Amino acid sequence: MNYAIVTDSSSNLPEYMIDDFDLHVLPLTFMGNGMQYQSYLKGQTTDLKQFYTMMREGVEFTTSLPCLASSEQLFEDLLKKGLDVLYIGFSSGLSGTFEAIDILLRSLAERYPERTILSVDTLAASAGEGLLVWHAAKRAQAGADIQEVHAWLEENKLKLAHWFTVDDLMHLMRGGRVGAVSAYAGTMLNIKPVMHVDDDGHLIPLEKVRGRKKSLHALVDHMEKTVTHPVNEQLVLITHGDCLEDAQFVADDIRKRFNEDVEIVINYVDPVIGAHTGPGVVALFFFAEHRN
């Protein structure tokens, strides 16, 4: 293939997929305890358990965009090799990353008019973005050209369903996703929000349930209502904030309900998203008739 696929660390794909597809990843930045970190460095493993342990101990993290100078260097290196570029980015409804990188790519397009440079605002987050990247890479491996893959992404991105729940509403309160009264009351009453990413790429609380197990079941309830069949012909991704048992609980629930050998991949939520959702987040991603 004569083009490179570039995405963000927010896509939450496991390292083996990044390697298998020869993907290029722009690391977003997070800060805590007076230190600044990159959320992805190829060949290096971030201790995500330690990251979530620090959050549980009260460390508050802030986040930032990828370094634009490093991003520009990565894109230029690819273009100078004679490769076209397809950038598949983090939802513009949740981050300024896509807008910043898209402006950078427009500038590069003027400097490299002989190259095709395309971008897709996935309007997706975490492994929702990642699942779109996975499908794009599979199509590229099968021989689809850059225009075909770009068109497929634009046509199908709003069929990528995201369902989230969190264990601690206080992190959503700090990020402005829920009000202080709702957060404190919900914590006292053991209320767990069930959220999704809407067609504009925003994280939207959709319902409230009492108790952790009910919130995990609710993720699969929504899947059952909208998932594209046959389920065993698609890849399902689950991400979690250092709560692997809960992620496996959701995976087991999926397999029980659909009575199929569903291919499910489980991975951590990266620090940039995890800084806003906190430990205990569980998210489910799949292709559906519509997002909600």
End-to-end CA distance of the chain: 35
**3-state SS of 108-141?**
HHHHCCCCCEEEEECCCCHHHHHHHHHHHHHHHH
pLDDT digits (tens, 9 = 90+) for 95-125: 999 999 999 999 999 999 999 999 999 999 9
The CATH number that applies at residue 235 is: 3.30.1180.10
Same domain as 260, residue 172: yes
CA distances (Å), origin 220, targets 38, 140, 224, 249? 33, 30, 6, 10
Query: Three-state SS for 39?
Result: coil
The CATH number that applies at residue 59 is: 3.40.50.10170
Same domain as 9, residue 118: yes
**The pair of three-digit structure tokens given for residue 266, joined into one six-digit string:** 């489980």
Residue 85 lies in a domain: yes
- What is the percent of the chain with per-residue pLDDT over 70, rounded to a whole number? 91
Question: Quick one: the chain helix, strand, coil %, rounded to 5?
Answer: 45, 25, 30
**The pair of three-digit structure tokens given for residue 251, joined into one six-digit string:** 């995976």
Single out the residue in 101, 130, 157 at which a domain terminates: 157
- At 21, the amino acid letter reads F
State the Cα torsion 64-68-71-76 to the nearest 10°.
Answer: 170
pLDDT digits (tens, 9 = 90+) for 254-276: 999 997 789 999 999 999 999 88
Strand partners, 88: 7, 120
Checking if the pLDDT of 187 tops 60, the result is: no
Checking if the pLDDT of 172 tops 60, the result is: no
Number of domains in the chain: 2
Helices (H), 142-284: 146-156, 169-174, 180-188, 212-226, 244-258, 271-277
At 44 the pLDDT is 66
Interval 134-157 mean pLDDT: 97
Same domain as 128, residue 198: no
Same domain as 147, residue 11: yes
Q: How would DSSP label each residue in 23-38?
A: -EEEPPEEEETTEEEE
For the entire predicted model, the pTM comes to 0.92
